[in-house]
Structure 1
């Protein structure tokens, strides 16, 4: 019998649904913030949609993570009446859902005009530009996330305070923790294998209840799917087990933030050889890799909103907490934003360490890959690599980044490189969504303000 990940065509998608005797399948797509939206679809509707596509209310491209409507977007809004947007099903995305017996999941992508602001389509366009330039991009994402012995109800009842971490204290790379809780680790690893986002590594990080998962490398478009699915289904699995997982960039001022590092490399589309590896160089960094790093470095301030897309993202970007604070690079240097990792023709790559766990995987990957490709196309050269502690550098050498989401949105909105890579309509829409996010934050009074000003000022 045909297996889920063997499905490649419309005909095979029909066959597997018929073979399992399913009355419904699950179909999902990802919104601007990387949140998966979708529904169960009847077999008849699914079969029709495989051929003709289906419609999905475009409000999911016009609201935030709390389903609040943007008031500043041109693409959709009350002024358009929130019409349906065309969506196409991706047959080769078929996956089993381990905890829904016999159920299948298919990913979808916005089509026609809606492609202009669709996050997955934005990544696909960058991948297509890479291929047109003669490269096949490969990527792997890794995430840090905290687990809590809480439920969606209990965290709200507590006002998100005094939460109980899944495990106590600081204990990175702990064999004790993963052995005591081997059943949970086994469930996570098994889910990754069965849903085709296999984990190359899974371990505790530094902090109470924090884990790090490294997803195996794949072609860039598939890597985006795998990262987006991992984030979604890790949260699902945790809640099914009476726990909660958060991918907030930084949930507490007492602990380091949560990264979403991106590993990238380019291979020749002709012969599959690494475009990043040059054995004649001491660290193996080829001219193409230097240009790629230069593009990432120079465009990092302009593309930051795609990699740090929430107000909370900027709580992580502070010195001394394993997060970069400047647009710099180094060879095997974890204090820099870009870490060149020497290896061989198979493993030579760059790690984009600026990425946070809260970013939309498709957009973070599109930004990291697109900026690198742009550097290759422009034949830019990077600054000298940083040796030692990048946090100790002066602001001029650091090449500082925008400090707030609002500032990042303004840089992105005016970026000619962003418009060329992602399209003017996407740039306008995404920048508007980040401006909305910042304005929503400014409307609310924080606990810090009450504690600081209520009595004394």
Structure 2
């Protein structure tokens, strides 16, 4: 991290003066948005914030205004919302350019109710009030293609060549050098701005990679996630390739964004107990299962998100938990004072991690506050179970939106303004798909590729 000082013609960084500062934040869709300012302009607004039109939360991924439901009082007349920088996130993005992450606030000092980063902060504070500190980690999955982004656009994102060859069953080292070169370049960029990563590897689909970010505070991990994806895009552009975080970019395997979570109390892992899941872990699981159907709307945000939910293909399809059982939605890792944790396996690669973390933390908070006991863990495979034996996750964007709308726990914790706005925007997305060229019977429609390949 760096401190901002202001000589006359830029920020003094030794040999390289800073010529510009980029503001960075996500909207509700997970798109990384911002402005680039002169150092002088940035210094003038570090306390007051910087105005953005409210449309940053009011446009869909096709750049159309989202309509069809009641607007909150802060949206509808191109009102300004205000970006406030978090100076602890200021980094040198590249020579001559700094970058800073922030969140969005209303003129009266209230947070924008659907600001993703502020929702994570809100849930983090609520958890702290219970005496717990959360540590989270995220697995980022993406697919890289040989073609440049310009060629990918010209092809409608169809028929692209996976980078590194056709090996795609996981952990393959038999990759062409361009695949390794891409990931080496990504790792170097992450190191340069102090984003700690732990591992990267070949994933199941051809051209697919997974990178694991180091555990940390939920807000800080959300920041690292947003910047890592931006770096992966920029490196792909620089090397003449293209990368996508689409939930299912081809008719093959999908892509996830698994969240690992542990809780500490007085410096001790609250999820550890010698005999198995601790009381805190059980209650956390109970809360997560009580909210899992509603949270599905948040962690599977787009039409294509639900094309991942296929039995035996990797993603969970049931509202279930198990001990060391990767076929369930929530995997409990037990038996170690340091590593006991929960893995929330539902989120797709297209989820906004800030919102996903807010929803997951809300479920955990509810479980702890209400001492919700979970059902017995699933010991067998949680795919292909007989109908009625276990609840299946909502498998369409509208079913999930209805589940969130009816979820009293998430409404109470995340706020009705967020829930109502999110549900309205998901129903709008369903309508756009069905009226603007989407094909429900296709494995993957051209409309989805055009809408989701580059954004979020």
TM-score (norm 2): 0.90
- Out of 335-344 and 152-161, give the one that drifted further: 152-161
Q: 2:59 aligns with which of 59, 63, 83?
A: 63
Q: Does 1:129 align with 2:126?
A: yes
Q: Matches of 1:258 and 1:14 in 2, distance apart? A: 42
Q: Matches of 1:240 and 1:224 in 2, distance apart? A: 25
CA distance change for structure 1 residues 178 and 449 in 2, over 3 Å: closer, same or farther? closer
Q: Matches of 1:422 and 1:293 in 2, distance apart? A: 18
| Partner residue in 1 for 2:96 | 102
Q: Matches of 1:72 and 1:227 in 2, distance apart? A: 32
Matches within 5 A, 1:168-247: 168-169=165-166, 170-177=168-175, 181-247=179-245
| Partner residue in 2 for 1:455 | none
Q: Does 1:89 align with 2:85?
A: yes
Q: Does 1:14 align with 2:5?
A: yes
| Partner residue in 2 for 1:416 | 408
Q: Matches of 1:86 and 1:443 in 2, distance apart? A: 34
Q: Does 1:23 align with 2:19?
A: yes
| Partner residue in 2 for 1:405 | 397
Deviations 1:62-87 (A, max 9, x none): 11122211013544699732111122
Q: Matches of 1:78 and 1:381 in 2, distance apart? A: 39
CA RMSD after TM alignment: 2.1
Deviations 1:247-273 (A, max 9, x none): 1111222x22101000001111xx211
Q: Which has the higher helix share?
A: 1
- Out of 431-440 and 17-26, give the one that drifted further: 17-26
Matched length: 434
SS of 2:45's equivalent in the other structure is helix
Q: Matches of 1:123 and 1:142 in 2, distance apart? A: 18
CA distance change for structure 1 residues 450 and 332 in 2, over 3 Å: closer, same or farther? closer
CA distance change for structure 1 residues 110 and 78 in 2, over 3 Å: closer, same or farther? closer
SS of 1:52's equivalent in the other structure is coil
Q: Matches of 2:431 and 2:239 in 1, distance apart? A: 36
Consecutive unaligned residues of structure 1, counting only runs of 5 or more, are 452-457
| Partner residue in 2 for 1:143 | 140
Matches within 5 A, 1:46-445: 46-75=42-71, 80-97=76-93, 100-111=94-105, 112-169=109-166, 170-177=168-175, 181-253=179-251, 255-268=252-265, 271-279=266-274, 281=275, 283=276, 285-445=277-437
| Cα drift, residue 402 of structure 1 | 1.4
Q: Matches of 2:311 and 2:348 in 1, distance apart? A: 15
Q: Matches of 1:58 and 1:414 in 2, distance apart? A: 27
